[in-house]
Amino acid sequence: MGKTVGIDDMAAYLPKLYVDAEELAKERNIPPSKITKGLGIERLAIPDAHEDAATMAAMATLELMEKNDLSPKDIDFIEIATETSPDASKPISCYVQGMLEQIYGRGSFDHVGAPETKFACVGATYALIDRLAYIASGWNRAEYSIVVATDIARYRLNSSGEPTQGAAAIALLLKEEPRLLAYEPEFTGFGTIDDRDFFRPVESKTAVVDGQYSIGCYLRDMRIAADAYKRNMVKLGVLKSLRESVVEKIGLASFHTPFPKMAQYAFASFLIHDWRGLPKWKKIIEKIGPEPSREGLSDVEFYISEEYKNFRRKFVKTEEFQSEYKSKIENSLIALRQIGNSYTASVWLGVESHFETRNDDLAGKRFGIGSYGSGSSAIVCSFIVQPEYKEVVKKMDLMRKLDERQRIPIDVYEDLHEGRLKLHESVIPPKNEFALVSFGNKSYDYGYRYYKYIT
C-alpha cells in the first residue's frame, strides 16, 4: 500500500454576472424549455470585461490559501489546467504566481513549480493525478500542492453550443492524509481516441464543435474508461467478476457536465452497460423492450442513433434508473444548472455541489469521477470520502456565490462576448479582486497581459 493522498479542500470562483437561459432562448427564437428542460441549463455564468481564465484561477487560489491559512512556503506546485489560456506559450500558472505575489510579497512564491496542463475538459483530472502521484512518491518539498481548473466556455453567437456557455474556476488543495477525499489510484481507467469532436484553433476565440458527434465521443470514451476501471476492480478483488455491477460499489458521482442533461445521458449509458447481464436487466427490458442492435455501426454512430436515443429515453424513465440517478448524481447538477459549461472545472464543481447540498452522511462512501475531454479522452476514477469531511464542507460557499450574482441583459452579454467592452468598462468594476488591467503595446511586450489586485 502506498501513501494515502488526495483532496484536502476546494475553493470555487464564479464570475459575478450571468445570463438567464430563458431570456437567451427567447432572443434566439428557441423554445425556452429546450434549454431549461432539454439541456438542463437555467443560468450561464459570464465573465466581466476585466476577467479571463487567469484572474479566475488566481481568485480561486487566493480563497483556498486564505481559508486554510496557508503561507507560500506551504505550497510545492501551483498547476493550472485550462483549455482557454490567453497565451499559447506562457502558462496561466505563471501569471497566477505573479498575481499571488502581489498579495504575499515579491519573491514569496519563487520556489513553486508552475506548469499548465491542457487536455480540453479532462485536463484538471490529468493534472490532479500527476500531482497526487508526485506527492505519493515523496518527491514533494512542501506539504501542499494546488491544482486549479479554470475555463471560459465560449461558442459563436447563435450557434447550437451558445446556450451551453459558462465560466468558472475551482482550486483543489492536495496533500497526504487529506481531510476530504482520499484517491484510489489503483482503479483509475483511461479511454483515449484521437478524434475531431471539438477543438479551438489557436487563432480562434470560440471552439469548433460537432455537437451530436461530440456526445457520441463522450459516451464512447467514458465506456472504454469505465471498462478499464471495472477490470482494475476485478484484478484487485473488489469485484469477483466482470459480471458484477460496478455502480453498486459507488456511493455518489460527478460527471463532466457540458450541460446537465449530458450527465444524465452519461449515467444512463453507464448503467445500461453495467446492468446488462444482471437479473434486474431482464425485468427492465421486459418493460422497455430490447436494446437496439449495434450491427454495422461504429460506437459513435450507435450512441447518437435515434434507436439508441429512444431506448435511453425509455430507460431513464424507469424507477430503477431514477432511484440510482437521484441518490448518486442529481446533487452534482444543482450548481451546474446555474453555471453552464466550465469545461475542465465542471466535474469538480459537481463534486462541490454534492458536498454542499447533501444532508446524508457521506463519510466512507466511494465518490466516482467521470471526466471527459474532447479530442478525446475520458478518465474514470474514485475517491473515498474522509471521516472529517464535514468540517471542510462547512467553509465551502459555492451556493452563496451562485445567489449573489447580477443578471445582465442580452445586449450587454453580446458586447462582452464580442469583446466590445474595454478592460476598464466592466459591468461591475473590480473591487478586492485580481483584474486584467492592460496589454503591452511596445515591441518587447506587445500583447503581454498585466494584472493587478484592485482594492
Q: Which residues bind ligand CAA (CB under 6 A)?
A: 31, 33-34, 37-39, 121, 160-161, 164, 198, 209, 211-212, 214-215, 218, 256, 258-259, 261-262, 309, 313, 341, 343, 372, 374
CA gap 421, 94 in Å, rounded: 26
Determine the angle formed by the axes of helices 260-275 and 306-316, rounding to 10 degrees: 90
Nearer to ligand CAA, 38 or 185 (CB): 38
- Cell 469548433: give the residue: 208
For the bound state, the minimum distance from the C-beta of residue 153 to ligand CAA, rounded and expressed in Å, comes to 7
The closest alpha carbon to 171, from 411, 344, 298, belongs to 344
CA gap 49, 221 in Å, rounded: 36
CA gap 451, 435 in Å, rounded: 6
Nearer to ligand CAA, 112 or 336 (CB): 336
Sheet containing strand 43-46, strands side by side: 43-46, 17-20, 406-407
Nearer to ligand CAA, 32 or 251 (CB): 32
For the bound state, the minimum distance from the C-beta of residue 307 to ligand CAA, rounded and expressed in Å, comes to 13
Nearer to ligand CAA, 131 or 312 (CB): 312
Pairing relation of β-strands 181-183 and 5-13?
antiparallel
Nearer to ligand CAA, 45 or 262 (CB): 262
Nearer to ligand CAA, 36 or 140 (CB): 36
For the bound state, the minimum distance from the C-beta of residue 67 to ligand CAA, rounded and expressed in Å, comes to 28
CA gap 252, 328 in Å, rounded: 4
Q: Compute CA distances 391 → 65, 66, 68, 344, whole Å.
A: 16, 16, 12, 26
Nearer to ligand CAA, 145 or 344 (CB): 344
Q: The C-alpha cell of 430 is what?
A: 473590480
The answer to whether 161 and 183 have CB atoms below 8 angstroms apart is no
Residues 6+ apart with CB under 8 A from 307: 292
Nearer to ligand CAA, 259 or 434 (CB): 259
Shortest Cβ contact with ligand CAA: which residue? 38
For the bound state, the minimum distance from the C-beta of residue 228 to ligand CAA, rounded and expressed in Å, comes to 19
The closest alpha carbon to 155, from 199, 113, 100, 115, belongs to 199
Nearer to ligand CAA, 23 or 176 (CB): 23
Phi, psi values for residue 39, rounded to 5°: -100, -25
Pairing relation of β-strands 166-176 and 5-13?
antiparallel
DSSP 162-217: GGG-EEEEEEEEEEES-SSEEE-GGG-EEEE----SEE--TT-SS-EE-HHHHHHH
For the bound state, the minimum distance from the C-beta of residue 188 to ligand CAA, rounded and expressed in Å, comes to 20
Fill in the amino acid letter for 386.
Q
For the bound state, the minimum distance from the C-beta of residue 77 to ligand CAA, rounded and expressed in Å, comes to 25
The closest alpha carbon to 128, from 175, 60, 90, 198, belongs to 175
The answer to whether 48 and 15 have CB atoms below 8 angstroms apart is yes
Nearer to ligand CAA, 259 or 302 (CB): 259
Nearer to ligand CAA, 75 or 268 (CB): 268
The answer to whether 380 and 189 have CB atoms below 8 angstroms apart is yes
